[in-house]
A and B are shown apart, each in its own frame.
Chain A
Amino acid sequence: MIELEGLTKRYGEKVAVDNLTFTVRPGIVTGFLGPNGAGKSTTMRMILGLDHPTAGDVRVDGTHYDRLKDPLTDIGALLEAKGVHPGRSAYNHLLWLAQSNGIPERRVREVLDEVGLTAVARKKAKGFSLGMGQRLGIAAALLGDPRILMFDEPVNGLDPEGIHWIRTLMKSLAEQGRTVFVSSHLMSEMALTADHLVVIGQGRLLADTSMAEFIRRNSRSYVRVRTPQREALLDALHRAGVTAVDGADGTLEVDGTPAEAIGELAARDGVVLHELSPQQASLEEAFMQLTAESVEYHAHTGAPLPPQQQQQQQWGESWRKG
């Protein structure tokens, strides 16, 4: 269990993490979602006592991290930066980690085997590919057989097989009753692995719900309509008190009215339809919508946007286009 209470981190003027309060529970995979620069990695570093919080508190199994005796046996983490000396072998990297926490050397061989690095165990880390480096980081997290696991963007650099492997691994770790906390900036990735979702934007908490609840609340259903008689259809809809908005590629999107009703309105006026299809906004869109709101909220305060927020808006826009 990881408990955050009002956790805040400021780097100079920049607020990276803003008053976060939530709990990561055992037995499930908790996804930690946010766009680039949202503060995910910073939050994880504070959980490990690496960065000092500006305010607030964070506890691991009820204790401050630096009070844990042999912390690697309680919580294992894969961080964003690899943290491996390029001239040291994978084996020796894991060996010094193990020794520092009184973990038997046999575990080094076990985790190397588990992540599939046994063949290159004695090779220097500088020759490792991105994916091998990621596997070594995961081996280090598993080393102390900890009850809590934390992964910062674990699928980075992994091939499809590796991605499948890490998903399965996270689920099985959670099934064993462990606490699994994993960050990502891809909603689609989280949808496949996470049972619970914590979403942040600009360092603030935007959502803390179960995955199912998040989908139910945030996804929008609408009807997509395509017609060569755009004005005629808009008239017909307008008279019935239905509003339509422009969608992609010259389509119209109608919220809150069933497809049947739209079809009948069009038929009454003799409007030709080329498409009439109920749509469910994707999870990615739901996530976009949520984080975009946090950006709008800031923009409406009237102050000019700091560069970071502008960046996030652009990030959102590019997603909508793509």
Chain B
Amino acid sequence: MATGQVVRSEWTKIRSVASTVWTLSTAVVVTIALGMLISALSKNEFDNLGEREQLSFDPTFISFAGTSLGQLAMIVFGVLVVSNEYSTGMIRASLAAVPKRGVFLFSKLAVATALAFVVGMATSFATFFLGQLMLGDLRASIGDDGVLRAVVGGGLYMTLIALFSMGVAAMLRSPMLSLGILMPFFFLISNILGNVSATEKVGRFLPDQAGSRIMRVVTPVDDDTPYGPWGGLGIMALWVIAAVAGGYVLLKRRDAQ
């Protein structure tokens, strides 16, 4: 069983279903459009901000504001890529064709992650430049200190969110269950935990909060986050590894269904 064959086969699978196109294009459009909108609004609001807020003003991070919503489409992409196998019963055909379950899972994740990476990176650069366009005089330049790191990091963040979702879906199998947990978690719960002072210290170790640190260039005043941009992305990567490892172990042990 050559891994190259399986990777090709997974590529055929992913390009031959409509959900790939609509989830990824939604991620692109929502991230960019919302990023541009919030950048434009922020520019108009800048003069009304207090001195503290003006000092913390981070044009790069603001242009990534659409990520909070766009990542949900990335989550749907990651969940569907894996859970489609189970909801359609295709998993039996897949594992009969590729009985080495590790080869099957990692080929699938490699293909879907590579696609998420390309789309995520392109989205990240586009959202940065278009966002800066909206910010006018307040704009950051790609050459400024830490900006390129933030933009590349934005692409990595989107990729890791997708991969995390794939790992969770590999554990839970059902698309409804996976989305029912991941969507509210990333859209609501994580934000609530991160903004309530009692849970803030725990909240910032959640995958999205730790990971999104990489998109910041200006550190907010009085910031006491115990990790830097790459440290945050590292924390997120640990979550991803845990989810994928869990998915692999369960796939290996369970009957195919």
Contact = CB atoms under 8 A, between A and B. Distances in A.
B12 interface: yes
B255 to A, nearest CB: 4
A66 interface: yes
B206 interface: no
A83 B93 CA distance: 6
B12 A71 contact: no
A214 interface: no
B101 to A, nearest CB: 8
Interface residues of A, number: 33
A69 interface: yes
Interface stretch (A85-93, A188-196, A205-213): A85-93
A96 interface: yes
A83 B89 CA distance: 4
A112 to B, nearest CB: 15
Nearest to A52: B255
Interface stretch (A27-35, A42-50, A113-121, A303-311): A42-50
Given A84-B90, A100-B6, A50 B96 contact: yes
A115 to B, nearest CB: 16
A101 B5 contact: yes
A100 B98 contact: yes
Interface string B121-147: 000000000000000000000000000
Contact of B5 (A77, A89, A95, A102): A102
Contacts of B91: 83
A99 B16 CA distance: 14
Contacts of A81: 89, 92
A77 B257 CA distance: 16
A101 B2 CA distance: 8
A14 B1 CA distance: 35
B15 to A, nearest CB: 8
A81 B255 CA distance: 15
Nearest to B107: A100
A101 B98 CA distance: 8
A84 B84 CA distance: 10
Interface string A36-61: 00000000010011111000000000
B92 A70 contact: no
A77 B16 contact: no
A140 interface: yes
Contact count band on B: 20 to 34
B18 interface: yes
Contacts, number: 90
Contacts of A96: 9-10, 12-13, 16
Interface of B, secondary structure class, is helix
A79 interface: yes
Interface string B85-125: 00011111111111110000000000000000000000000
A66 B98 CA distance: 8
A140 B93 CA distance: 9
A137 B252 CA distance: 25
A299 interface: no
Given A52-B255, A69-B1, A87-B18, A99 B12 contact: yes
A86 B88 contact: yes
Nearest to A50: B256
A52 B257 CA distance: 12
Contacts of A140: 93
B96 A48 contact: yes
B83 to A, nearest CB: 12
B17 A70 contact: no
Contact of A68 (B16, B94, B99): B99
B12 A92 contact: yes
A116 B55 CA distance: 71
Contacts of B25: none
Interface in A210-266: none
Most chain B Cβ neighbours within 10 Å, of A69, A70, A100, A101: A100
Given A49-B96, A92-B16, 6 more contacts: A50-B96, A50-B255, A50-B256, A88-B17, A99-B5, A100-B6
* 9 interchain residue pairs of minimum CB distance: A100-B9, A83-B93, A92-B16, A66-B99, A99-B9, A50-B256, A51-B255, A96-B12, A81-B89
6 contacts: A48-B95, A49-B95, A49-B99, A82-B89, A83-B88, A100-B8
Interface of B: 1-2, 5-6, 8-10, 12-13, 16-19, 84, 88-100, 255-257
Interface of A: 45, 48-52, 65-66, 68-72, 77, 79, 81-89, 92, 95-97, 99-102, 140
